[in-house]
Amino acid sequence: MDVVNESEDTRLQDFIRDVVRADLASGKVKGVVTRFPPEPNGYLHIGHAKSIVLNFGIAEEFGGRCHLRFDDTNPAKEEQEYINSIKEDVRWLGYEWGADLYHTSDYFETLFEWAVHLINHGKAYVDDSPAEEIRKMRGTLTQPGKNSPCRDRSVQENLDLFTAMRAGEFAEGSRVLRAKIDMASGNINLRDPVIYRILHASHPRTGDKWHIYPTYDFAHGQSDAIEHVTHSLCTLEFADHRPLYEWFIDNLPVPARPRQYEFSRLNISHTVLSKRRLIQLVNEGHVSGWDDPRMPTISGLRRRGYPPAAIRDFVRRVGITKSDNVIEMALLEHCARENLNRNAPRRMAVLNPLKVVIENYPEGPGEELEAVNNPQDESAGTRMVPFSREIYIERGDFMEEPPRKFFRLGPGREVRLRYAYFITCVGVIKDESGEVTELRCTYDPATRGGDAPDGRKVRGTIHWVSAAHAITGQVRLYEHLFTDVEPGAGGDMLDDLNPDSLKLLENARLEPSLSKSKSGAPVQFERQGYFTRDPDSSAEKPVFNRTVALRDSWAKIQKKN
RNA sequence: UGGGGCGUAGCCAAGCGGUAAGGCAGCGGGUUUUGAUCCCGUCAUGCGCAGGUUCGAAUCCUGCCGCCCCAGCCA
């Protein structure tokens, strides 16, 4: 394979990479530096993955580096727990920041000096107005704001007040420092934005050292400058902040001039990706936690069994643009299947067991039959699977009155047991209520391994597991968390919760080799889907989560009729 | 009624004045010891709408229309 051509073919194209290439080509920047700047106040979700893959990906592609920077300017809502989970998730996604781990709080002292610099140049002032008053004076979207009565304080008075603010001499919320820009600007962010507020909260990293904390706007661009970030990539809602970002860069003695570029955030059908709504799902108990396999969080996807490579592939396929979008969940699922098809070893598992007795098969321990581990990967080899007179098959693989095109088992019908024998159904046993409790079958010893020497064909091949050898486990089948493409579009997202998003199967019968499977490792249950062992598993009872079902054209045919 | 952003197929998305890439979904067919995978075919006389410039326009100009974001001492 021609490696050079391959990398050409897969070269990613988007407006941000265009800018990076141009800046590198013109010599505007000598190397590219990006950053992923999460606020440690929640768990990462797949929307963050888009940003992570973009930022770390660009650094990788252009031989630069990507910083991991915790944007920890608000001690009121940030916690160490989140810092830990974020690091774990970024690593799991396949990225490493090396020595480039930073915190905005590392720059608090510099930021303070720069605020003083602004005051000294008459470009910032302390405002004593209550929050409510400041809000009123800000004006509206269509009407200009009004100048605060504090706007023309002397430099000295501002300095004294700001110093006292730092010393913790004022009550929380009693005063703020504002940049003096333009109360009549059409851009509300320029109407004398608050850049420091009083917060008597203990910070996870700086403890009780500070009583004032910079706002996002006053911290972000300057942090980028301090770190010599060249391309500061963020989502569209920050586009309005860019003039402010640049105003600080223009008015402060910063060591570099980073540039901000905005792209649209990721949206996915049948789920929600806003921090607020994710928190609500967790806090109100609609899911078991941040890592519930139905959650679009990185930890949820991990527990669900999504390979990190599939997530990277997904966000790359989605692309980077400035248009609003809602990506169909089907694309994410496709990426998972494509990866798992290549990598997941195959096993047999009967989710809804129905006992089958093979009347002409000898009693006793049975035999072992060879099964292929992965038809897509010869190097995965084969394994031996025990077979005996009593087995379990899937209830859904038998119908007493099969409709047209049903290729599986029915009275008098013959099917192939995968890697085993052809069997024919010769009897159906039911209980008083009429429910089928057992099937009686005969097998053809000549079809051992699954091939008929006489060339006889069967339409169906079904999976099975030896009753005496099977281990019993719990299987969790997941569906979309929401029934609606856009949850909450019609009001409350809770109205759109899918009542069937989790189905528990307590009595699944698993091929014995499954007792050895490791949590997180993918496995395909033949004819059903991709699964992974859940950490809830116990020694006696393994638990498997369904990552994604196999495509099912039979279900599609049934739906049509 | 202010400022910013965006409109190419059901969902994404290339395209940068020379006659609409690709992926997902869908549909049709072939192979198959997974109704899986894989393979083949099909899917925009059309690029929000209306004018204009040009030999030629999704690309340039003008005017409309629609959608998203902004009035936290959140990020």
pLDDT digits (tens, 9 = 90+) for A466-480: 999 999 999 999 999
CA at A345, C1' at B36: how many angstroms apart? 13
CA at A500, C1' at B41: how many angstroms apart? 37
List, in sequence order, the alpha helices (H) in A62-148. 80-92, 108-120, 131-137
Query: How far is A368 from A382, CA to CA, in rounded Å?
Result: 12
| A323: nearest nucleotide, CA–C1' criterion | B6
Cβ of A131 < 7 Å from strand B? yes
| A104: nearest nucleotide, CA–C1' criterion | B75
The predicted pLDDT at position A560 comes to 76
CA at A214, C1' at B72: how many angstroms apart? 14
Residue A6: which pLDDT band, with cuts at 50, 70 and 90?
Answer: very low
The predicted pLDDT at position A164 comes to 98
CA at A12, C1' at B5: how many angstroms apart? 23
Q: What is the dihedral of CA A277, A73, A226, A222, to 10 degrees?
A: 80
A7-21, A99-113, A468-482: range with lowest mean pLDDT: A7-21
A420-424, A441-445, A453-457: range with lowest mean pLDDT: A453-457
The residue-averaged pLDDT of A63-84 equals 95
Query: How far is A29 from A22, CA to CA, in rounded Å?
Result: 9
| A38: nearest nucleotide, CA–C1' criterion | B75
A6-20, A69-83, A246-260, A448-462: range with lowest mean pLDDT: A6-20
The answer to whether residue A449 scores a pLDDT higher than 70 is yes
Task: Report residue A337 as tokens.
Answer: 């299947």
The predicted pLDDT at position A12 comes to 81
The residue-averaged pLDDT of A463-467 equals 98
Cβ of A261 < 7 Å from strand B? no
Percent of chain A whose predicted confidence (pLDDT) is above 70:
98
Point out the catalytic residue in the list A21, A123, A205, A265.
Answer: A265
Prediction pTM value: 0.96
Give the number of C-alpha atoms closer than 13 A to the C-alpha of residue A457, restricted to the C-beta side.
2
Q: Which of residues 270 to 299 on A have a Cβ less than 7 angstroms from any strand B atom? A: none
Q: Is A265 a catalytic residue?
A: yes
The answer to whether residue A4 scores a pLDDT higher than 80 is no
Cβ of A524 < 7 Å from strand B? yes
C-alpha A217: how far from its chain's center?
27
From the DSSP assignment, how many helices (H) and strands (E) are in chain A? 14, 25
Other C-beta atoms within 10 Å of A155: how many? Answer: 14
The predicted pLDDT at position A263 comes to 98
Query: How far is A170 from A220, CA to CA, in rounded Å?
Result: 26
| A552: nearest nucleotide, CA–C1' criterion | B35
The predicted pLDDT at position A490 comes to 82
Q: Is A516 a catalytic residue?
A: no
Point out the catalytic residue in the list A151, A275, A395, A440.
Answer: A275
Length of chain A (residues):
561
The residue-averaged pLDDT of A285-301 equals 98
Mean pLDDT of chain A: 96
Q: Is A389 a catalytic residue?
A: no
A7-21, A146-160, A285-299: range with lowest mean pLDDT: A7-21
Q: What is the pLDDT of residues A339-387, one digit of tens each?
A: 999 999 999 999 999 999 999 999 999 999 999 999 999 999 999 999 9
The residue-averaged pLDDT of A93-117 equals 98
Q: Which of residues 15 to 34 on A have a Cβ less than 7 angstroms from any strand B atom? A: 15, 18
The answer to whether residue A431 scores a pLDDT higher than 60 is yes
CA at A318, C1' at B47: how many angstroms apart? 20
CA at A328, C1' at B24: how many angstroms apart? 8
Cβ–Cβ under 8 Å, residues A326 and A269: yes
Q: Which of residues 348 to 387 on A have a Cβ less than 7 angstroms from any strand B atom? A: 374-376
The predicted pLDDT at position A176 comes to 98
Residue with tokens 């000294």: A120
Q: What is the pLDDT of residues A544-554, one digit of tens each?
A: 999 999 999 99
Residue A559: which pLDDT band, with cuts at 50, 70 and 90?
Answer: confident
CA at A238, C1' at B4: how many angstroms apart? 9
Cβ of A403 < 7 Å from strand B? no
Cβ of A337 < 7 Å from strand B? yes
The predicted pLDDT at position A355 comes to 98
DSSP H or E stretch at residue A70: strand A65-70
Query: How far is A405 from A561, CA to CA, in rounded Å?
Result: 11
Query: How far is A102 from A34, CA to CA, in rounded Å?
Result: 13
CA at A98, C1' at B5: how many angstroms apart? 35
Q: Which of residues 35 to 64 on A have a Cβ less than 7 angstroms from any strand B atom? A: 37, 39
Q: Which of residues 174 to 203 on A have a Cβ less than 7 angstroms from any strand B atom? A: 174-176, 186-189, 193-194, 197-198
Residue A11: which pLDDT band, with cuts at 50, 70 and 90?
Answer: low
User: Exposed, middle or buried, A512 (CB in 10 Å: 0-12/13-18/19+)?
Assistant: middle
CA at A353, C1' at B34: how many angstroms apart? 18
The residue-averaged pLDDT of A109-134 equals 98
Cβ–Cβ under 8 Å, residues A222 and A114: yes
Query: How far is A417 from A436, CA to CA, in rounded Å?
Result: 20
Residue A532: which pLDDT band, with cuts at 50, 70 and 90?
Answer: very high
The answer to whether residue A308 scores a pLDDT higher than 50 is yes
Q: Which of residues 476 to 515 on A have a Cβ less than 7 angstroms from any strand B atom? A: none
Could you say which nucleotides of strand B lie within 7 A of any protein CB atom? 1-8, 10-16, 22-27, 33-38, 67-75
